[in-house]
Structure formats: C-alpha cells, structure tokens
Amino acid sequence: MATQDHKAKSKVEALSPADRLDYWQEIAKYLGREVRTVQRWEREKSLPVRRLSGDREDIQPRVFAYKSEIDAWVARQSGHRGVPSDASAAAALTPRDPSLLRVAVLRLENSGSNPETEFLSDGVSDSLITRLSQLASLRVISRTSVLRYKGQAIDPGEVGRELEVDAVLTGRMVTRGNALSISLELIDVRDNSVMWAGRYNRSIDDLVTVEDEISQSVAEKLEVKLTGGSHTLLPKRSKQNPEAYRLYLKGRYYWNKRTGDAVKRGLDYFHQVIELDPVYGLAYAGIADSYSMMVFNNMISPRDGLPKARAAATRALTG
C-alpha cells in the first residue's frame, strides 16, 4: 500500500502546475459545460477530479483537476452517449446564448528590455479579464484557457475559432523607468477587422486608472458594435497606493507560477503590501491562496497552513 501511495504521489508531482485546473468553474470551462454537468460526470462517469482534503478545521475541500487526465478521460469516453470525443468538441457542442458576447483577452506582450517587468503585463491582462467579467452581457474566456497563446505569434481569427469567441483583445506593453506605454487592438474575429485600437502613455503610478479606462473602452466597443446596444459603465476603482498595487501584481505573478519557491516569493510580496496598506483586501486574498498552495505542495502541513489561509481569507472579506 505504501508503494502504491508513493507512486500516486510521484505521479501528481510530475504533472506540471500549468496543467492544473482549479475549482469546478475552470474544469467546467475547459470542458465547455456547466458546473453541474461536470459534477454529474464525476459522480456517474468517474471524471478525474481531485480534492485536497484538509483537517477537520478546513472549511471546504479544494477541488482541482489536470488537463492531461481530463483529456485522457475524454478520449476513453469517445463514443459514449453524452460525452464528446475531446474538450474542443465539447465547447463546440455547448449551446450558446446569442444575447451574450464572448471575448478572449490574450496576454499582453512584454516588449520592454527588462524581463522583470513581465509581472506588469501579466497583471494588466488579468485585471482586464476580471473587469470585463463584471459585465452581464459578456462572457470572458478564463486566464487558464488563454495562457497557452502567451509568447506565440497568433492569428486572431484562428484563436477566435478555437475559443469560440466573437472578439479577441491583443496588445503589447513597453516600460522605460516609470514610463508606461500600452498599445491594444480589439479584433472582430468574424472578418478580422479592427473594432477598436488604443494607445496609452502614462506613468506606472497611474496603472489602476489606465486599466479602468481600457476595460471601459473595450466594453463600449463590444456592446455597441456587436449588439447595437448602449454601453454599460463599469465602476471605477478607488485610488490605491501605486507601490502597494505593484507589489500585489508581483505577488500574483509569482503565485501563478505555482511552484514552491515562487509561491513563497509571492507570499513575501503580499506581506509587503500589508505593511504599506494594512487593509488591502486583495493582498489578504493572496496570502490565503499562498498558504493553500503551500499545503497543496506539501511545503507545510494542513494543520499549520489552513488556519492561516482561513484567517487571511476572512480578513480579505471583512477588510
């Protein structure tokens, strides 16, 4: 039994963190189905979903899956009624609500000479995904699904067909000292036409304001051109400490790598944010995610890590 457990553990450790899908929502998006459908597949068809069971103090077990295992399961299910032959076919078969627009926000290309600024381009990309997801008329493709296009020469039309979206947002970022330049294009994948293009030359200290302006411009063009409807105003965020926000983006950048050393480095950045701004909710959320990931990676025990994760999550919610 011990040998089998060791083999199972080794197999999990051999899988790439980038291959993982966290939570039911990401698993469902990867398969192109509703969460309840995917949960039923786990119960009835042995869909390979894993759980990180904590001690008795844990609030809720962590749910995750690996793309490679999902793909293998789908291949085995080929020909079975109700299960498509692959994940892309699943997405194609999913009924689409014609009143909803689908958009993919690709990772901004980091065109600066300093690779250390990549956390900014990734951070802006993630912020735009989060902001646009607030609109009820939009369905924004998840970060996990667009990550595979990072660093590649892409054809927006091909990306649009692969992800089943109406529009693709692409762009590049250049930083020189404290100066920031962002160039973007919103492509209508139906005819590869440019729906909107924008360029923003600002200070890095104005990053939050720039993100709000970009997301509002994209939302307006999508809603007006693709539906003919009036645009919805996205709420503007309150002013934040620029240095605290940059440190938070660094923390998320390293946390997203999901390796032991990177998660610890990200946790350090989140704590630096709290030192600057003790009520910075996003930083507490990052701390909670970091301790959860450290438990998952067997860096600390559930008894040590989960109470810290829960306390930080509570602080993130209460401010």
- The number of angstroms, rounded, from the C-alpha of 219 to the middle of its chain's C-alpha atoms is 19
Same domain, 107 and 216: yes
- For the chain, count helices (H), then strands (E): 13, 9
- Residue 176 is part of a domain; what is its CATH number? 3.40.50.10610
Residue 222 domain flag: yes
Whether 7 maps to a domain, the answer reads no
Residue 16 has pLDDT above 60, yes or no: no
Non-local (6+) Cβ contacts of 291 within 8 A are 267, 300, 305, 306, 308, 309, 312
More confident residue, 232 or 73: 73
Query: How many domains in the chain?
Result: 3
Check residue 117 and give its pLDDT: 82
Amino acid 114: pLDDT: 65
**CA 117 to CA 144: how far, in whole Å?**
21
188-221 tens-digit pLDDT: 888 888 988 999 999 988 888 888 888 888 888 8
Q: What pLDDT shows up at residue 113?
A: 55
Residue found by looking up tokens 């609500």 in the block: 97
pLDDT of residue 8: 42
Domain presence at residue 299:
yes
Report yes or no on 261 lying in a domain: yes
Asked whether the beta carbons of 290 and 313 are under 8 A apart, the reply is no
Give the C-alpha separation, 26 to 28, whole Å. Answer: 5
> DSSP assignment of 222-251, as one string?
HHHHHH-PPP-PPPPPPP--HHHHHHHHHH
Q: Stretch 136-147: mean pLDDT, rounded?
A: 84
**Whether residue 218 sits in one domain with residue 112:** yes
Domain stop point among 93, 119, 152: 93
55/111 same-domain check: no
Shared domain for 17 and 39, answered yes or no, is yes
pTM for this model (two decimals): 0.66
Of the candidates 227, 256, 273, which is a domain's last residue?
227
| Residue 76 within any structural domain of the chain | yes
Cβ-contact 306, 55 below 8 angstroms: yes
Instruction: Looking at the structure, tell me whether residues 202 and 264 fall in a common domain.
Output: no
Print the domain residue range for 295: 242-318
At residue 95 the predicted structure's pLDDT band, cuts being 50, 70 and 90, is very low
**How many residues in the chain?**
319
